[in-house]
Amino acid sequence: MSFFIQVSNPTVQTLSRRQRYTDSLSGAIQRAFPLVTESAFMIWNGLYIPINYKYELSIMVDDFLPFLSQLLNSDNGSYKLGFGVDTFRAIWTIDWEQDILRINSEWDIVTGNLKYLLNKHNSIELNRDDFLAEWKKLLETIITSIRKANISIKNQDEWEQIVNIYSAITNYGYCYSVFKYKSNVDLTENLKTLSNMWFPKEASSQEVLQSIADTFQLYLPQDYQQIMQEFGGGRLEGKNSVIDLEPLETLLDTTYHEEFRKYVPNLFVIGHDADEGIYFYDPSDWIGYGNYSVFFWPLPEDGIADAIFVGQDLTEVMTKIINESNLLYLPNIESDVFLG
């Protein structure tokens, strides 16, 4: 019994200014994708079910987002999920208890004449977190494509819901787990296996790390300390994003931080991308995503509202980069609170 989601590589449309405004998340998905482009695939017990982004996924999103939200927030529960698209019509009866999730399905209409086979193999049982992980890349594709198309959604509750669900799912699914951080293996050991992507600098001492903490009155997160002690920083080159963690000598130069603190006094810069963007910690939760949450700021002179929340910690950020996420198209802060 198996369940996977393959997102493929759909094209994102170039829209006129008038086309960039829509009322709903469903409408934004319809506008972001052309009719003829690569489809996503839901793989159910070895059967590949195509899902068109424009006219199937845009409708299905209203069905599965409430379910994913409940699944994330309840250790035990049940849910009846109905898909009502003309070419993807099915009812899933879902039960979960702690780590195990079970789905019994009834299939009515499915593209590709798969109804008989799907109803013959209509049940799956798998780990709850593994099931959730399969949705992460699909949610990311929706979010980044809407951002790339510069679409504004009137119903911000729907936008916040998909962003929050995406952020709450920790790992990527089977097809996209190029790298999955293991809690029983520290980050440095995982990075050592990525010689084609990770280019370290020179190891630093605990004393230098402590001097940085003292100079800026910071507590440095454990994963960051590990990288600095083992490598002294380094450059991680993903397919779509790059992070270059500055060496400690640069970080000890307070003028380096002053350059950016003229925009936001509370940030602590840890590195940059391949262009003009910077990565920074928010040590005191000034922005509101949690202490020491990590942000990417493509062009600091454009204002803090353009900064992008990229992870609760450095491990999450590096995992996204390795798994080919394009951090530039994740949601930015976009709040008047930060416009000064």
Cα gap 331→147, rounded to integer Å: 7
Nearest to 29 by CA among 112, 135, 139, 133: 139
What is each CA distance from 311 to 204, 222, 304, 320, 331, in whole angstroms? 25, 15, 16, 9, 12
CA 218 to chain centroid, in Å, comes to 27
Class of domain 187-338: alpha beta
Beta bridge partners of 83: 90
Sequence spans of domains, the chain: 3-176, 187-338
Token code pair at residue 291: 């202490």
pLDDT at 336 over 70: no
Contact in structure between 103 and 124 (CB atoms under 8 Å): yes
Percent of the chain scoring above 90 in pLDDT: 47
pTM given for the model: 0.70
pLDDT at 74: 93
Note the pLDDT tens digit of each residue in 177-198.
655 544 445 678 888 888 889 9
Residue 104 CA neighbour count, 13 Å, CB half: 3
Cα gap 285→215, rounded to integer Å: 19
Give phi and psi for 56, each to the nearest 5.
-115, -55
pLDDT at 181: 47
Cα gap 326→242, rounded to integer Å: 9
**Which pLDDT band holds residue 41 (cuts at 50, 70, 90)?**
very high
Note the pLDDT tens digit of each residue in 279-303.
999 888 888 888 899 999 887 666 7
Token code pair at residue 65: 């987002």
Note the pLDDT tens digit of each residue in 134-181.
999 999 999 999 988 989 999 889 999 999 999 899 888 888 765 554
Residue 334: which region, alpha, beta or left (left: phi > 0; alpha: psi -120 to 50)? left
Helices (H), ranges, the chain: 25-32, 58-73, 115-120, 128-148, 156-168, 187-192, 206-216, 222-231, 248-251, 254-261, 314-322
Nearest to 62 by CA among 128, 169, 155: 155
